[in-house]
């Protein structure tokens, strides 16, 4: 799923719509405080997205004014219709999750928290007494803030599919950026390395990992860097509260650089951060000493946010897919043809496809050739680390571990935000 790196033309100039995603290995590292400050520093040139849908809190600092609220429904839940239920108990017998409960009046009820939505009870109820409506899992919102438009969401208690909700928030942020001609999306991502994080970072133009100088911080950072490396996302690292353990900070920075990440700054321990939060302000809106550190990190990220010209909503990219017998070739170097697919990210549709026979497979040839064809993203089954590095030199992003499906199927999942990457079958 790719949302960024698309060219917007403005008065003869070209700029790129970028998405910066701020994540952390665990909660409580200061990730949201940094994201809120970046939203302020973008000075109205960005869409803000809160993708930490399981524990959204960016709104506490940015005080959004809600413009639009939409229910988020995903999956289904079983509901017993009391007027039809005969009390046979077959649903309780078949439910392996223990979600069907017998009430004191000898009637049955489905516990919505325990129900996994498998549908077995619906299928086998002899009286047809079990409805199966879509499950209400939360809501997503579009708001205005003092920093610009914001897309955020709230997942319901014990609700699932947070990764799907994250993808929805990102798509909406992309749409608004295109409509308003804004060149940047600042995303507050979830902590950890699970499904919501994968949905947040896949296809981002840059990821910033906020970590702490602790043993757990060092461990969690290694896991996050492994994740971003798998998806080929450029990553930067900053250490928050670095001065509580300078030796560990230096050790973390050395390991980050050895993993291919850029170290873009340090943020000192600062009690005034809490004072800023109490005032519902971003740190850079106060005179807190750490505000200068955050500004330094922002500057070191070197984001291209334009010079104030209004940008158009052109968000089209070209995706290359290596093929064998009409489907994705699992071994990149053995492909017969390349499908070059033009897609519109805002309208989420495939615009056209052209199949080309590649030149002979030699080191460095395909990256240069695909760059000449205008490819910005490759969807691949397996590809070696050296080849991935050569494509990175041509500013072509690579997603590996994809299944042997047709280009239309892969692009459909790509645009829907449901593209699932597995193991790189050719990692050498």
Q: Which two structure tokens, joined as six digits, stand for 138?
A: 């939360």
Does residue 421 lie in a domain region?
Answer: no
Q: Is the pTM here over 0.85, yes or no?
A: no
- Do 276 and 379 fall into the same domain? no
Contact in structure between 348 and 415 (CB atoms under 8 Å): yes
Does residue 223 lie in a domain region?
Answer: yes
**Over the chain (428 residues), what is each successive 10-residue block's mean pLDDT?**
41 62 91 95 91 90 93 92 93 95 91 92 95 92 94 83 86 91 93 89 92 94 90 92 95 91 94 92 92 92 55 63 92 88 77 91 85 90 83 82 90 74 64
Does residue 374 lie in a domain region?
Answer: yes
Range(s) of the domain holding residue 357: 316-416
Start-end of H helices in 79-135:
90-94, 120-124
- Do 50 and 12 fall into the same domain? yes
Give the CATH number for residue 28.
3.40.50.300
- Do 124 and 148 fall into the same domain? no
- Do 119 and 143 fall into the same domain? no
- Do 193 and 279 fall into the same domain? yes
Does residue 423 lie in a domain region?
Answer: no
Does residue 427 lie in a domain region?
Answer: no
Q: Which two structure tokens, joined as six digits, stand for 387?
A: 């080849």
Domain-terminating residue out of 92, 108, 132: 132
Q: What pLDDT was estimated at residue 345?
A: 66
Does residue 331 lie in a domain region?
Answer: yes
Contact in structure between 204 and 20 (CB atoms under 8 Å): yes
- Do 257 and 182 fall into the same domain? yes
Contact in structure between 241 and 39 (CB atoms under 8 Å): no
Q: What pLDDT was estimated at residue 3?
A: 40
Q: What pLDDT was estimated at residue 14?
A: 39
Pairing of strands 349-356, 337-344: antiparallel
- Do 407 and 369 fall into the same domain? yes
Domain-terminating residue out of 253, 273, 301: 301
Does residue 394 lie in a domain region?
Answer: yes
- Do 98 and 29 fall into the same domain? no
Domain-terminating residue out of 115, 132, 149: 132
- Do 97 and 207 fall into the same domain? no
- Do 110 and 189 fall into the same domain? no
Pairing of strands 235-240, 262-267: parallel
**Count of domains observed in the chain:** 3
- Do 263 and 352 fall into the same domain? no
Q: Which two structure tokens, joined as six digits, stand for 14?
A: 């070209």
Q: How far apart are CA 80 and CA 91, in angstroms?
A: 10
- Do 330 and 286 fall into the same domain? no
């Amino acid at each position: 799923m790719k949302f960024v790196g698309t060219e917007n033309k403005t008065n003869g100039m070209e700029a790129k719509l970028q998405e910066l995603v701020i994540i952390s290995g665990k909660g409580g590292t200061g990730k949201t405080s940094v994201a809120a400050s970046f939203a302020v520093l973008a000075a109205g040139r960005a869409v803000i997205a809160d993708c930490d849908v399981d524990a959204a809190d960016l709104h506490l600092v940015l005080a959004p004014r809600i413009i639009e609220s939409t229910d988020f429904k995903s999956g289904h839940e079983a509901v017993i219709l009391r007027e039809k239920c005969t009390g046979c108990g077959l649903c309780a017998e078949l439910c392996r999750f223990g979600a069907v409960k017998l009430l004191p009046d000898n009637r049955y009820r489905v516990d919505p928290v325990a129900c996994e939505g498998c549908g077995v009870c619906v299928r086998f109820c002899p009286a047809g007494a079990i409805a199966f409506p879509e499950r209400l899992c939360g809501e997503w919102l579009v708001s205005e803030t003092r920093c610009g438009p914001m897309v955020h969401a709230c997942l319901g208690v014990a609700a699932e599919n947070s990764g799907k909700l994250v993808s929805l928030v990102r798509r909406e942020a992309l749409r608004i950026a295109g409509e308003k001609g804004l060149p940047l999306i600042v995303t507050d991502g979830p902590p950890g390395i699970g499904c919501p994080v994968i949905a947040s970072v896949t296809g981002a133009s840059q990821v910033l990992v906020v970590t702490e100088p602790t043993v757990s911080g060092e461990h969690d950072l290694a896991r996050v860097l492994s994740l971003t490396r798998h998806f080929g996302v450029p990553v930067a690292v900053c250490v928050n509260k670095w001065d509580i353990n300078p030796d560990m900070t230096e050790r973390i920075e050395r390991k980050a650089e050895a993993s291919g990440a850029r170290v873009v700054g340090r943020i000192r321990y600062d009690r005034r951060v809490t004072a800023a939060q109490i005032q519902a302000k971003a740190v850079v809106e106060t005179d807190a000493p750490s505000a200068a550190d955050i500004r330094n990190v922002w500057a070191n990220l070197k984001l291209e946010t334009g010079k104030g010209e209004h940008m158009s909503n052109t968000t089209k990219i070209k995706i290359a897919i290596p093929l064998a017998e009409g489907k994705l070739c699992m071994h990149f170097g053995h492909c017969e043809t390349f499908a070059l697919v033009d897609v519109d990210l805002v309208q989420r549709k495939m615009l056209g496809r052209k199949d080309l026979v590649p030149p002979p497979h030699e080191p460095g040839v395909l990256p240069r050739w695909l760059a000449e064809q205008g490819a910005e993203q490759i969807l691949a089954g397996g590809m070696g680390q050296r080849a991935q590095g050569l494509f990175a030199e041509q500013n072509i992003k690579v997603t590996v571990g994809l299944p042997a499906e047709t280009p239309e199927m892969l692009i459909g999942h790509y645009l829907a935000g449901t593209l699932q990457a597995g193991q790189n079958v050719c990692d050498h």
